[in-house]
Amino acid sequence: MTAHAVTARPLTVFDAAMLAEMYAATFIAPWDQTWSENSFAEVLAMPGGRGWLLVADGAPIGFLLARFTLDEGEILLTGIMPDAQRRGHGRRLMEIVIVSARDAGVVRLFLEHAAGNDAAAQLYGRLGFVEVGRRAAYYRGAAGQRADAIARALSLDEKPPV
């Protein structure tokens, strides 16, 4: 397998349709799909709304949406296309948002993920995010199943983990 150059670029509202397609491919059932093209456009158009896209060989392979407000930031959504998962792309996007947040004066960065998403939990833990709360039965699946949301935070005024 040949190594492919992966580049990152900022997202704009003009990427909303592509992001909706990526979301549909990335967030496969059983969880409800709640992000539409308008949802992406609204986040990217709002003050403090930011996002990044990873591209390999001209094809989008991952994205991250965040919102920075004063000294706090929130990672809203991260998605890696199924055939590009488990290759470090999620970590790369997280590193980009952490550096951008620090540069913007953010001192605490938040995110949440579904309980049972062990890959996400491991990645976020390695990056220094600590569990700060849990929302019981927050996520709802198409078949009626529920999963807790695990809230995590990263203090950006401390030295990043190695």
Catalytic residue positions, numbered: 112, 124
What is the b/e burial string over 36-54, where b = at least 16 CB atoms within 10 angstroms of the residue's CB? ebebbbebbeeeebbbbbb
Which of 105, 119, 10 is closest to 65 using CA atoms?
Answer: 10
Which of 151, 83, 87 is closest to 119 using CA atoms?
Answer: 87
The answer to whether 33 and 24 are in contact (CB under 8 A) is: yes
Q: Is 142 left (phi over 0), alpha (psi -120 to 50) or beta?
A: alpha
Q: How far apart are CA 57 and CA 2, in angstroms?
A: 11
Residues near 112 by beta carbon (within 8 Å), at least 6 away in sequence = 135, 138, 149, 150, 151, 152
Q: Is 27 helix (H, G, I), strand (E, B) or coil?
A: coil
